[in-house]
Amino acid sequence: AAGVIQSPRHLIKEKRETATLKCYPIPRHDTVYWYQQGPGQDPQFLISFYEKMQSDKGSIPDRFSAQQFSDYHSELNMSSLELGDSALYFCASSPLGTGGNEQYFGPGTRLTVT
Amino acid sequence: GEDVEQSLFLSVREGDSSVINCTYTDSSSTYLYWYKQEPGAGLQLLTYIFSNMDMKQDQRLTVLLNKKDKHLSLRIADTQTGDSAIYFCAERNSWGKLQFGAGTQVVVTP
């Protein structure tokens, strides 16, 4: 079965650089969620999109922005990176019409900021 | 996950049953979830329960929900070494955002 695809899987950046994380949801999933998981922490919700519109926003820094495109893939753009941004970034997607009842997570992108 | 609480560690012998407990605070949560995370891996959706249900069984997994006490549990029957992982409880808000607990590290010993 198709799963959520995230790229890249690993990313190393320096402080103050920018990073772009990509998420390709499962086919026929219209909702995308982004979560950040720090070392030894539980995942924290960042932002979500439904039908290409932002649907909810969590603890996402102003340095980060995201969007969902017409093919439903999503990108998380992170600027002025800080050491504290080092984390696993997960994307999750939900099937059409379920309103997020089932969220399937991708493998994550591990971002290391040095 | 300050709104969702879990015990941090559980050790269980292979073949025994594991019970992982979780409490949540948002009484309007419509769905509650259990996810499994193995080291360095993503989050695997194990099961979820709608808030108007008391119990859901899926093969070796049994979820019990006490809505009055806002208590959720996951029972794994015949625990295997492959069940060693971190298990996250999560509640869902009206927009679909998941609020996770801190996770319970389950260690299965032979």
CB spacing of B102 vs A42 below 8 angstroms? yes
For residue range A48-90, list pLDDT tens digits in order.
999 899 988 998 999 999 999 999 999 999 999 999 999 999 9
Per cent of chain B over pLDDT 70 is: 98
- The terminus-to-terminus CA distance of chain B in angstroms comes to 31
CA B48 to chain centre: 9
Would you say residue A2 has pLDDT above 90?
A: no
Contact status, residue A34 vs residue A47, Cβ threshold 8 Å: yes
Nearest to B45 among A58, A90, A103 (CB): A103
Residues 6+ apart with CB under 8 A from B32: B22, B24, B48, B49, B51, B63, B65, B72, B89, B90, B91, B92
Would you say residue A99 has pLDDT above 80?
A: no
For B1, name the nearest residue in chain A, comparing CA atoms only: A42
For residue A77, which of A69, A91, A85, A67 has the smallest C-alpha distance?
A67
If contacts are CB pairs under 8 Å, which of residues 26-85 in chain A contact chain B? Answer: 31, 33, 35, 41-45, 48, 50, 55-56, 58
Contact status, residue A32 vs residue A96, Cβ threshold 8 Å: no
pLDDT of residue A22: 98
Tell me the backbone φ, ψ of residue B103, rounded to 5 degrees.
95, 145
Contact status, residue B73 vs residue B21, Cβ threshold 8 Å: yes
Tokens of A68: 């969902």
Would you say residue B108 has pLDDT above 60?
A: yes
The pairing of strands B104-109 and B9-13 is parallel
Work out the average pLDDT over B17-34: 90
Q: Is B61 on the interface with A (CB under 8 A)?
A: no
Q: Mean pLDDT for chain B?
A: 92
If contacts are CB pairs under 8 Å, which of residues 92-111 in chain A contact chain B? Answer: 92, 94, 99-108
pLDDT of residue A96: 76
pLDDT of residue B2: 55
Q: Mean pLDDT for chain A?
A: 93
pLDDT band at A95 (very low <50, low <70, confident <90, very high): confident
Would you say residue A15 has pLDDT above 60?
A: yes
Tell me the backbone φ, ψ of residue A84, rounded to 5 degrees.
-70, -10
For residue range B43-87, list pLDDT tens digits in order.
999 999 998 899 999 999 999 999 999 999 999 999 999 999 999
Would you say residue A26 has pLDDT above 80?
A: yes
